[in-house]
Structure 1
Amino acid sequence: MTSPSSGDREKVVSKLPTALQQDLKVRTAQHGVDIQHAVEAGITAWRGLGANLSPIETSGAKSFSTWLPPGQWEEFRRDCTARGVSLVQGLSQSVQVWLDRNPAPGIQRPAVVKRFIVCNQKGGVGKTAVTAGTGEALAEDAGRLHPVRVSKYLATARAGIEGGPALAPEDDPLEFEDLPGLGLRVLLVDFDPQCHLTKQLGHDPLPLEGDSLTKHMAGEGKAELSELIVTVADDRFGDRLHLLPACTDAFLLDVKLSGVRAREAALERALAPLEDEYDAILVDCPPSLGLSMDAAAYYGRRRPNEPSGNSGVLVVVQAEDSSADAYGLLTSQIEDLRSDMALELDYLGIVVNHYDARRGYIATSSLQNWMEIKDPRVVGLIGDLKEQKEAVRVKQPLLAYAPRSAQAVALRALAREIS
């Protein structure tokens, strides 16, 4: 059935098996192609075949509509009649032809493992939630579609803080686009002795008497560090999202590092044997400016032949004054490291977390101050909403617990911004 034209195309309504509809939706998103153009190309290719294809199971086919060039559908109907196949069968075969000729693209893996150092000297700003959510977004299945959008807060924050209406956290974000996951192999490193990342993802901290990242950094490792890694299990991550749990012995890390040779490189020496297994490693740092932060920053430095922005420091803040004070202390330490050790250490950006414009002038004016910083710039604005707190309570990854929540889609946008 056809309907009146839209521009130079006419609407076509038919049926298509649900599985084929889903495959078509995912594959066109993977290639950045409109569904209508894929169906058009598939029909053209099917009509050019010299023989019929094997029949496709079409029982239970669901309604499907698209837009095709004027006249193509009627010509296609005649071809189906001539070949002795139903319209639904012919359309299904045409879509399958396009899918076969346009296989899913491979995952774009970085030449040098990405190393994201998530930090701030101030505690309670949400570093752990941002580390976990960003890692989850990087690891989501590339064969499925996930809602992605820049938060309405980030897209319209400048207008709002310059006199426009305040944005409440429950406001609907901008229209989002369903996109394939990034499909990267990700390691989350809990570098904080408080073990928040480990606990939030449903795992137990490593026992004090056993092996740990701290012991490996101090040269006291008992076995391979890889033996400590656990999987963050959920279908959307496959076996791509892993966690290196923390141990409370990390409270002693600065003391142990004080006697270690080339202590700034201690984290790199520990994690380097793991890097070939991952595309991205995210380090959830403690709220500290000690030797452990030096080691984390050194690990995030730009290596020889590594492109700018592939690795670096991601600073998590809140829209309030104490975050600004802590940010100043952190950036001073980073600048000292850059200068003293001649490091090429990139800022990946600032993430303003737990934002709620209903808190009034302090929140909106603080956000304006963050937005006015150009280097590093704000790359994410995450609302202070209940879903993250609920996910922590039930010890599930946010993107598995509430995959379509505003926080989840903002974290996906952040992951794409820095990856």
Structure 2
Amino acid sequence: MTVPYSPDDREKVVAKLPAILRQELKVRAAELGVDIKDAVTEGVQAWRADDVERVPVDTTGGSSFSTYLPTGLYGEFKNDCKQRGIPFNQGIAQAIRLWLDTHHSPRRTAARPAWARRLIFGNQKGGVGKTATSSGVAQALAEAGNRVLLIDFDPQGHLTKQLGYELFDIESPSLAKHMLGEAKGELRELLVPIENGAFSGRLFMLPACKDAFLLDAKLATSRFVRIKETALEKALEPLEKEFDYIVVDCPPSLGYTMDTALYYCRTREGETSGLSGIFIPVLAEDSSADAYDMLYDQIQDLSVDMEVEISMLGFIVNMYDSRKGYIATSSLHSWKEIGDPPVVGVMPELKEQRESVRLKQPLLSYAPDCEQSEVMRAIARKVMS
């Protein structure tokens, strides 16, 4: 029987829980508009009311987690854990897991649109953070309950390698071969799941292939692709109904390959403007501004030539450090002054991103509480709003 506890009479509870579980609780509570302390209270009450033996939760590497339970419930719960022969940390982890399993993400059950929303991350300049931001935003979208496909469209394959996978070799099927009509089988057979934490089962990647270096030249001479700009869309079309978002990490190029990505993120007939489009990662320095001018011209030329609308969703100022002085701060101010597109995120230059790359782990599972992860989530929320 559940005891009627007063919601205003609470005591602090401290436990050690894995970062993945804490983050999943944080995201789910936010999605459902529930305070974390109320979610944990519901989980504890449900756990106490049902004394079935539960599957243990992996609490390895747990760190401090604190919340507030109604006064009296904490002591009773600790006694229950003792009677069931499990540590308190395991009990609270099981209670949270029970709440998560019985309070599903509203985004998982929402009706999927007729086609996936298409987000590309592009800039002609290399080293501005296209891979880091496309990967991080894709992780944040998946963490929030969406099915997301992350595509490594850069033949250098940084995204593929940073997530711990190998590039397809030149003789293997690949996205490039599907674009050129040279591949057998289905493209979905090439997808690999990113099985980490809060986005497990919802985030997939299409790895890069070394033959993509030849894609520009082959598109120029291919008889299979009558309209070059449509090649990426035709290849990905069979996958679109399986995902809520398709996120593309583009190459540092202004050639045909980039044209296919820009055409792919255009506003389609019947689609609201701004749902799909391009994010532009930049640095707080002058060379990024020069590169943006070239990309802007390419977007405008393609829009006119193909009679399409391509939404520029915003700048992401990457690796920002105000300690670098006037160049950094004045450049950030200049990006914000443009106004359209707006600056949608300022990514601080911190060690967590570099560490996650070195360890070949997704940032949001390696360091879910770091400032960079929070910026990725903020951008994802703007996408979903």
- TM-score tier, shorter chain, comes to 0.7 to 0.9
How many residue pairs end up in the alignment? 339
Counterpart position of 2:255: 290
Q: How far is 1:27 from its partner? A: 6.2
SS of equivalent residue, structure 2 residue 316: strand
The answer to whether residue 145 in structure 2 is matched with residue 183 in structure 1 is yes
Counterpart position of 1:407: 372
SS of equivalent residue, structure 2 residue 279: strand
Counterpart position of 1:106: 106
Q: How does 1:128-277 map to 2 (within 5 A)?
A: 128-140=131-143, 182-259=144-221, 260-277=225-242
Q: How does 1:77-116 map to 2 (within 5 A)?
A: 103-107=103-107, 108=110, 111=113, 112-116=115-119
Change (3 A) 1:277 1:67: same
Give the counterpart letter for 1:313 in structure 2: I
Give the counterpart letter for 2:33 in structure 1: G
The answer to whether residue 301 in structure 2 is matched with residue 339 in structure 1 is no
2: CA distance, partners of 1:305 / 1:414: 25
Counterpart position of 2:348: 383
> Percent of aligned positions with the same letter in both sequences?
52
Change (3 A) 1:208 1:14: closer
Change (3 A) 1:287 1:37: closer
1: CA distance, partners of 2:344 / 2:258: 22
Q: How far is 1:109 from its partner? A: 5.5
Q: How does 1:8-157 map to 2 (within 5 A)?
A: 10-13=8-11, 28-34=29-35, 55-57=49-51, 65=68, 103-107=103-107, 108=110, 111=113, 112-140=115-143
Could you list the runs of 5+ residues in structure 1 that have no partner in the other structure? Answer: 1-8, 47-53, 74-84, 90-94, 141-181
2: CA distance, partners of 1:63 / 1:224: 48
Counterpart position of 1:154: none
2: CA distance, partners of 1:13 / 1:359: 45
1: CA distance, partners of 2:211 / 2:66: 59
Change (3 A) 1:252 1:404: same
Larger Rg over CA atoms? 1
Counterpart position of 2:86: none
Could you list the runs of 5+ residues in structure 2 that have no partner in the other structure? Answer: 1-6, 53-64, 81-94
Of the three residues 299, 302, 319, the one matched with 2:267 is 302
Change (3 A) 1:222 1:134: same
Give the counterpart letter for 1:378 in structure 2: V
Q: How far is 1:236 from its partner? A: 2.2
Runs of 4+ residues over 6 Å off in structure 1: 14-19, 22-27, 35-42
Counterpart position of 1:172: none
For the 8 Å contact 1:113–1:275, the answer to whether it is kept is: yes
SS of equivalent residue, structure 1 residue 372: helix
For the 8 Å contact 1:122–1:326, the answer to whether it is kept is: yes
TM-score normalised by the chain length of structure 1: 0.71
Q: How far is 1:31 from its partner? A: 2.4
1: CA distance, partners of 2:333 / 2:342: 12
Q: Deviations over 1:145-177 (max 9, x none)?
A: xxxxxxxxxxxxxxxxxxxxxxxxxxxxxxxxx
Moved more, 303-312 or 199-208: 303-312
Counterpart position of 1:153: none
Question: Superposition RMSD on alpha carbons, in Å?
Answer: 3.7
